[in-house]
Amino acid sequence: MNPVRNTKAIKGEGKISNGVKRIVIASDHAGFVLKEKLKSFLENKNFKVKDLGAYSKERSDYPVTAYSLAKEISQGQFKRGILICKTGIGNSIVANRLPRVRAALCYNIKAARLSREHNDSNILVLGSSFVNPGLAKRILNIWLNTQFKRGRHQRRLNQLKKIERGLNSSFASL
């Protein structure tokens, strides 16, 4: 069974008025090569891709690009984004500091699917040292085409939103 073929498209997700799908992508120097491959992959699938860097293999600092991308998601400029660095860990730490960001570090297809179904992740984080371009494309395809399941997961997402607003006495009763 091919897991890519068994996913459902997300209606309206990441679309602009003329029907073009939009996504934002960024990397540091260690993720540059993989970012460029995923950018081409997305463009071939008719995505309009906003690239926030890095623009070469020249050494760069992941907090700068991760913050730039996470800010685009947090402020509602884009619904989905992709971050790539060597391990993905640093990008995850930076991105998840911003409100309304749910960045998920995924090294396999199952994690990508569950990050969407259970957590409604809006940033896919990849580690270029752990996923080759072929696997990264498969992970990305699953992540883009998997819907949030709601149900008990919606309740948990609502709890996360309360945490974002600051812990208070009402949170203890959740």
Q: Which residues are catalytic?
A: 85, 118
Tokens of 64: 């700068």
Q: How far apart are CA 128 and CA 29, in angstroms?
A: 10
Q: Can you tell me whether residue 26 is helix, strand or coil?
A: strand
Strand ranges of the sheet holding 123-127, from the earlier edge strand across to the other edge:
47-51, 21-27, 81-85, 123-127, 103-105
Determine how β-strand 103-105 pairs with β-strand 81-85: unpaired
Q: Which residue has the tokens 């498969």?
A: 138
Measured in degrees and rounded to the nearest 5, phi and psi for residue 97 equal -80, -15
Strands 81-85 and 123-127: parallel
SS3 80: coil
